[in-house]
């Protein structure tokens, strides 16, 4: 006879709460998991901040800065999601992409949050070849930061 399957108390990737037989108030666990999934599937954030806004809307999400304070202290680089009147935090996995509506740009997590910088446009003059090469280098770097191109080999 095969050994019975045993589960941890949460999922391994996004720490969604799991249900157990005979568990009381299962609706709280299911609702929390669904709310977290709602925020993590095609995620959009309001921006990057080190403290929660003064007023929040249900389902609102933020990237917590590297120096959080107040209610967000200790949650650097996590996604803060306003669910049922309080903040829940999701730990991002490498490769997670979010749309930052404050700058209308994608951010990708790879140990920390990155966004592509807009490369400078080459200007005319005698150094046009060097400027063009630098612009191409900047474009490739921006595409790597955005997660469109793979990072350089170690």
Instruction: Tell me what the mean pLDDT of segment 76-87 comes to.
Output: 93
- In angstroms, the CA 57 to CA 133 distance is 46
Q: What is d(CA 129, CA 135) in angstroms, rounded to the nearest whole number?
A: 10
pLDDT for 10 equals 74
The predicted-structure confidence for 41-55, as pLDDT tens digits, reads as follows: 889 999 999 999 999
Q: Report the distance separating Cα 113 and Cα 131, nearest Å.
A: 28
Give the phi and the psi of residue 71 in degrees, each rounded to 5: -60, -25
User: For residue range 31-41, what is the model confidence (pLDDT) as tens digits?
Assistant: 888 888 877 88
| Cβ proximity of 64 and 80 under 8 Å | yes
CA angle at 85 for the pair 79 and 86, rounded to the nearest 5°: 40
Query: So what's the pLDDT on residue 121?
Result: 59
User: 93-105: per-residue pLDDT in tens?
Assistant: 999 999 998 988 8
Lowest mean pLDDT among 48-57, 66-75, 145-154: 145-154
Q: When comparing pLDDT for 102 and 24, which is higher?
A: 102
> What stretches of the chain adopt beta strand conformation (E)?
44-45, 48-49, 61-64, 79-83, 86-90, 97-100, 105-109, 113-114
């Amino acid at each position: 006879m095969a050994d019975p399957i045993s589960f941890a108390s949460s999922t391994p990737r996004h720490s969604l709460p799991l249900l157990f037989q005979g568990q009381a108030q299962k609706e709280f666990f299911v609702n929390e998991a669904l709310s977290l999934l709602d925020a993590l599937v095609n995620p959009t954030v309001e921006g990057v901040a080190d403290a929660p806004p003064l007023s929040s809307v249900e389902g609102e999400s933020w990237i917590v800065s590297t120096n959080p304070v107040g209610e967000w202290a200790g949650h650097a680089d996590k996604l803060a999601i306003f669910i049922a009147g309080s903040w829940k935090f999701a730990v991002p996995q490498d490769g997670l992409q979010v749309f930052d509506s404050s700058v209308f740009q994608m951010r990708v997590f790879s140990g920390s949050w990155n966004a592509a910088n807009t490369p400078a446009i080459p200007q005319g003059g005698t150094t046009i070849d060097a400027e063009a090469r630098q612009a191409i280098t900047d474009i490739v770097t921006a595409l790597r930061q955005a997660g469109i191109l793979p990072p350089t080999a170690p």
